[in-house]
Structure 1
């Protein structure tokens, strides 16, 4: 019975990665004609309203301290989303952005070390230089010049790492779906504030934009987060993290197919190296034998 639940959970997480890849394309197509702040506000407020019926009792039962913690973590995620949306709006290479965003898994141990004095596992120091090589191949395609959008993707990845670390602390006392609903609402609320300040003008909508907005909201947000949450309930975190590495791969395939993106061989190799480093890190982070060997090699 457990194996059946685990298999179903793996399929749900796989589905979540595919929907996340679709979300990259849908977001880009909407942002081409709608201000990013308007898109963020409408998408995440609507998504939180859709999820609310599934967890409203738990939301209203939250203690003030829990609610405050969730809102604070949601603001961090909102900052990451705002930067991510801006990066998408000025980027011509979504696949590169997706690979850079996947670095959040590598950056998170640094954040945890700084905030909570939790030392990264030894395998982290082995994979870090591999990751750096991947970043260099991925970004430095025109000499030693990094595109402006890539810096914003990196900043968004750092903020997402901070959210990972803080969210893990919050989930110790709050159910995942309740946490997601509140945080999605906070993203929409922050987006509304930014929209009123930056771009209060109204956006013109058409059937094409409404279609991709619906895809982004219902498919890439509501269904995606529900699939990911339900999948993670029955799958070990290491295996779930490995499956989640497929997100930038789907984004690459869809970006080439729908947006006609041309990806140079050097960028493909760089993205592959980043995925390899993340695979090694997730696969061996809890293996004591490898950890000891890395420690010995560092000492010698």
Structure 2
């Protein structure tokens, strides 16, 4: 029975990575017709409120002192998303951006070391050279074609690593749906404030663009997180930790299919090196999976 639950969880998590990969396409399409900060504010506000409405019962008994640290982590999330959407707005290759952003998993132990005195496992030190080489090939894979978007995505990865460190230390007793909803809503409200101050209110949003916003908010945010939380309740965390590395792979595939993006050989090799770095950084979890089988 446990194996059946684990297999079901793994299938759901693969679907979660597909929805996350589609989120890059939905977001890029949305940015074609609206300011970047306003879009990401709408995406996270709608996604957060949708989870709040779905999981109202999980908020019963939650006290303000429990919510305050979640809000502070939501601020970190807002900054991460600000960098991400600016990178997405300026990027010419979604696949490259997805792989750089997902480097956050490699950076988690380093942020933990700097902020909390953690000692990264040996697998992280082994993964680091692969990550650095991969970044080099992505940035210079087709010659000197470095984009400022690469720096935005790299900043996003660092912010996500910080966010995950804070979550792992301060928020272990609260339901995941509450955590996600409060973080998304906090980030959305904060980004909306910045958007209105910097970009102003969009004069017109076409029906097509509004459809892409809803798809991004409801499918690639609310539904994605709900499925992810459900899957994580069925199987060991180690399963999800490794499978979630598929997100940049799907994003790259969808970008090729939808936008006809083409990666140079050097960039493809860079993506491969970063994928290797992500797997190596979670090597202890990979070994656990093989031992179970």
TM-score (norm 1): 0.91
Describe how 1:132-281 pairs up with structure 2 within 5 A.
Answer: 132-143=132-143, 146-281=146-281
Alpha-carbon deviation of 1:145? 5.9
- Tell me whether 254-263 or 200-209 shows the greater mean CA deviation: 200-209
Aligned residue number for residue 298 of structure 1: none
Describe how 1:56-71 pairs up with structure 2 within 5 A.
Answer: 56-71=56-71
Describe how 1:5-84 pairs up with structure 2 within 5 A.
Answer: 5-84=5-84
Alpha-carbon deviation of 1:96? 0.4
Alpha-carbon deviation of 1:82? 1.1
Query: C-alpha offsets along residues 59-80 of structure 1, whole Å, 9 cap, x if unaligned?
Result: 3522222110000011111110
Alpha-carbon deviation of 1:143? 4.4
Aligned partners of 2:134 and 2:16: how far apart in 1? 25
Aligned partners of 1:264 and 1:278: how far apart in 2? 21
Query: C-alpha offsets along residues 19-51 of structure 1, whole Å, 9 cap, x if unaligned?
Result: 001000110111121111211222111112211
Runs of 5+ in structure 1 lacking a partner? Answer: 289-300
Contact map agreement 1:112 1:118 (CA 8 A) in 2: yes
Aligned partners of 2:91 and 2:4: how far apart in 1? 41
CA RMSD of aligned residues (A): 1.7
Runs of 5+ in structure 2 lacking a partner? Answer: 289-293
TM-score (norm 2): 0.93
Aligned partners of 2:24 and 2:168: how far apart in 1? 25
Query: C-alpha offsets along residues 226-259 of structure 1, whole Å, 9 cap, x if unaligned?
Result: 1111111222222212111111111011101111
Alpha-carbon deviation of 1:16? 0.8
